[in-house]
Structure 1
Amino acid sequence: MRTAVTFTLNNPEKFKKQLLQWAQQFREVVFLDSNNYHQQYTSYDAVLAADALTAIQTDCNNAFEELNSYQQTTKDWLFGYLSYDLKNDTEKLQSANFDGLQFPDLFFFQPKKLFLLQGNQLEIAYLNMCDDEVNTDFETINNSELVIDNDSLGAVIKQRVSKQDYIDKVTQMLVHIHKGDIYEANFCMEFYAENTTIQPVTTYNKLNAISQPPFATYFKNNQHYLLSASPERYLKKEGSTIVSQPIKGTARRSEDATEDESIKQALTVNEKERSENIMIVDLIRNDLSRTAAKNSVQVKELCGAYTFKQVHHLISTITSEVAEEHTPVDVLKTTFPMGSMTGAPKISAMEIIEKLEATKRGLYSGAVGYFTPNGNFDFNVVIRSILYNKANKYVSFSVGSAITSKSDPEKEYEECLLKAKAMHNVLEV
Structure 2
Amino acid sequence: MRTTFFHKTKSSKIFKNQILAWAQKFDDVVWLDSNNYEQNHSNYDAVLAVDAFTCIQTDFFNGFEKLKEYQTTVNDWIFGYLTYDLKNDVEVISSNNFDGLEFPDLYFFQPKKLFLFKDNQVEIQYLKGVEDNWEDDLKAIQNKNKCDLESFDCTQDEFRRKVSNNIKIKLRIHKDEYFEKINNMLAHIHRGDIYEANFCQEFYAEETVINPLETYNKLNAISNPPFAVFLKCNDKYLLSASPERYLKKDGGTIISQPIKGTAKRSNNFEEDNLLKSDLLKDEKERSENIMIVDLVRNDLSKTAIKGSVKVEELCKIYTFDQVHQMISTVTSKIEKTTHPVDVIKSTFPMGSMTGAPKISAMKIIEDLEETKRGLYSGAVGYFSPIGDFDFNVVIRSILYNETKKYVSYSVGGAITSKSNPLQEYEECLVKAKAMRTVLEH
TM-score by length of structure 1 reads 0.99
SS at structure 2 position matched to 1:144: coil
Q: Does 1:332 find its partner at 2:382? A: no
CA shift, 1:323, in A, is: 2.5
Q: Does 1:206 find its partner at 2:218? A: yes
In the alignment, the residues of structure 2 paired with residue 393 and residue 322 of structure 1 have an alpha-carbon distance, to the nearest angstrom, of: 44
SS at structure 1 position matched to 2:129: helix
In the alignment, the residues of structure 2 paired with residue 23 and residue 277 of structure 1 have an alpha-carbon distance, to the nearest angstrom, of: 38
In the alignment, the residues of structure 1 paired with residue 304 and residue 133 of structure 2 have an alpha-carbon distance, to the nearest angstrom, of: 42
Q: Does 1:34 find its partner at 2:34? A: yes
* Residue in structure 1 matching 2:250, options 213, 238, 241: 238
8 A contact 2:21–2:144 mirrored in 1? no
CA shift, 1:154, in A, is: 1.1
Other-structure match for 2:102: 102
Please give the per-residue CA displacement for 1:142-164, whole angstroms capped at 9, x wherever unaligned: 22214225241111110000000
Other-structure match for 1:19: 19
In the alignment, the residues of structure 1 paired with residue 227 and residue 129 of structure 2 have an alpha-carbon distance, to the nearest angstrom, of: 31
Please give the per-residue CA displacement for 1:178-207, whole angstroms capped at 9, x wherever unaligned: 000000000000000000000000000000
* Ranges in structure 1 where 5+ consecutive residues have no aligned partner: none
Aligned partner of 1:89: which letter? D
Other-structure match for 1:125: 125
Other-structure match for 2:63: 63
In the alignment, the residues of structure 2 paired with residue 175 and residue 395 of structure 1 have an alpha-carbon distance, to the nearest angstrom, of: 33
Other-structure match for 1:80: 80
CA shift, 1:79, in A, is: 0.2
1:3-402 equivalence runs, <5 A: 3-146=3-146, 147=148, 148-149=150-151, 150-402=162-414
In the alignment, the residues of structure 2 paired with residue 185 and residue 426 of structure 1 have an alpha-carbon distance, to the nearest angstrom, of: 28
Please give the per-residue CA displacement for 1:90-148, whole angstroms capped at 9, x wherever unaligned: 10000000000000000000000000000001111000110001111112112221422
Please give the per-residue CA displacement for 1:218-247, whole angstroms capped at 9, x wherever unaligned: 000000100000000000000010000000
Aligned partner of 2:131: which letter? D
SS at structure 2 position matched to 1:272: helix
SS at structure 2 position matched to 1:140: helix
Aligned partner of 1:4: which letter? T
* Ranges in structure 2 where 5+ consecutive residues have no aligned partner: 152-161
**Superposition misfits of 4+ residues, deviation over 3 angstroms:** none
Aligned partner of 2:42: which letter? T
Deviates more, 1:147-156 or 1:12-21: 147-156
In the alignment, the residues of structure 2 paired with residue 293 and residue 129 of structure 1 have an alpha-carbon distance, to the nearest angstrom, of: 41
SS at structure 1 position matched to 2:289: helix
CA shift, 1:269, in A, is: 1.0
In the alignment, the residues of structure 1 paired with residue 288 and residue 31 of structure 2 have an alpha-carbon distance, to the nearest angstrom, of: 31
8 A contact 2:163–2:214 mirrored in 1? no
CA shift, 1:208, in A, is: 0.2
CA shift, 1:421, in A, is: 0.6
CA shift, 1:322, in A, is: 1.2
CA shift, 1:28, in A, is: 0.2
TM-score by length of structure 2 reads 0.97
SS at structure 2 position matched to 1:237: strand
In the alignment, the residues of structure 1 paired with residue 311 and residue 323 of structure 2 have an alpha-carbon distance, to the nearest angstrom, of: 24
Aligned partner of 1:69: which letter? E
The structure-2 alpha-carbon separation of the partners of 1:5 and 1:312, relative to structure 1 and needing over 3 Å to count, comes to: same
In the alignment, the residues of structure 2 paired with residue 375 and residue 151 of structure 1 have an alpha-carbon distance, to the nearest angstrom, of: 40
In the alignment, the residues of structure 1 paired with residue 71 and residue 308 of structure 2 have an alpha-carbon distance, to the nearest angstrom, of: 25
Aligned partner of 1:402: which letter? A
SS at structure 2 position matched to 1:295: coil
Aligned partner of 2:244: which letter? E
SS at structure 2 position matched to 1:129: coil
In the alignment, the residues of structure 2 paired with residue 50 and residue 129 of structure 1 have an alpha-carbon distance, to the nearest angstrom, of: 15
8 A contact 2:202–2:409 mirrored in 1? yes
Please give the per-residue CA displacement for 1:356-387, whole angstroms capped at 9, x wherever unaligned: 00000000000000000000000000000000
Other-structure match for 1:422: 434
* Aligned CA-pair RMSD: 0.7
SS at structure 2 position matched to 1:155: coil
CA shift, 1:324, in A, is: 3.2
SS at structure 1 position matched to 2:209: coil
